[in-house]
Amino acid sequence: MRGTDFADFSYGGRQGGAGGRSVSLAIFADRPHLRATMREDALGAGLEVAVAGSLEDLPESGGRPLADVVMLDCPIVDSRTMATLARLDMQAAGSGNRLIVSTSVDGLDDVFACMDMSAPLLLVDPNRAERVIALGQVLAGFPAARLRELSEDDRLMLLRLTEQVGQIAGHIDRLTPREPASAAVAEPVSVAPPLPAVAAAKLPEGRLLRRIIRQRQLRSRFIEGDFFADPAWDMLLDLAAARVEGKQVSVTSLCIASGVPPTTALRWIGALVQADLFQRVCDQNDRRRAFIELTDRAANRLAHYFDEIALLGPMLA
């Protein structure tokens, strides 16, 4: 297989010292230097790298899962890549294995559209630290039934991974001069507990919502920095305006509306989907496209919020 770093594909992991099965990783990236870096970080964390190769080396058949975790880098997404991603997405959904997929801003909508079953972790133009952090997040998120299978070696591996994340994040300026450190090592997203049901209400008109959004954006002209970063609220406002206007919002557009780096925005989108505030919808005219919109529950909550603040005076948010 052209571009592979190992001669054969291994399925699953080796037996750990306590009788459990170690976590295995498969890496697929067309850029050799990136593939080598990803492999280096995985081995440094104590992971078993089952295979590392280019995207062309991905098996065509369904077969068994390539590994417990599969990392792919596909900055350019063509029809063949989309078909491969869709197949891996279906396979991972059936096996419970996890996917980490990095792409570019231009490729984000295509990747998002064809991966709707396995809840993959999506990264947009990530730096080295963000890839390692994503790997740690995925490993920490394995279901309890899977975690009970881990050996003592695997628990040590998770500890080493945590230490490695700290070391890389500590040198984030050297690794990624294009982004502030806060974007790469942002705190995990927490979701508030469900709120009680309320009666139906109506959102304000789109013109008013757009004015609120412009008011929020205007602050950055006078006060520098990221002091006003509030991606969840900015995305809620953007989707509320789109709902009233009858427009559809792509995941790329929503990331831009969030005002934070795309990878950070994607993490927030995932949390808001889990909280039943956002939902993914397919384009009825083109199944290869998908959009994000408010759930009815979220729209109703926002409508009640605007009703409340309207009673307090001029509309501000």
Give the H/E segment covering residue 36.
helix 32-44
CATH architecture of 206-310: Orthogonal Bundle (1.10)
What single-letter DSSP state applies at residue 197? P
Band (183; pLDDT cuts 50, 70, 90) = very low
> Residue 294 and residue 281: Cα distance in Å, rounded?
10
Q: Across the chain, which distance is largest between two alpha carbons, in Å?
A: 69
Examine the pLDDT at 10 and tell me if it is beyond 80: no
Residues 249-289: tens digit of each pLDDT: 999 999 999 988 898 899 899 889 988 999 999 887 777 78
Band (67; pLDDT cuts 50, 70, 90) = confident
Q: CATH homologous superfamily of domain 24-184?
A: Response regulator (3.40.50.2300)
List the one residue out of 191, 211, 201 whose CA is nearest residue 274.
191
Spell out the domain ranges in the chain: 24-184, 206-310
Q: Tell me the mean pLDDT in the region 47-70.
A: 80
Residues 206-250: tens digit of each pLDDT: 999 999 999 888 888 888 766 777 899 999 999 999 999 999 999
Band (34; pLDDT cuts 50, 70, 90) = very high
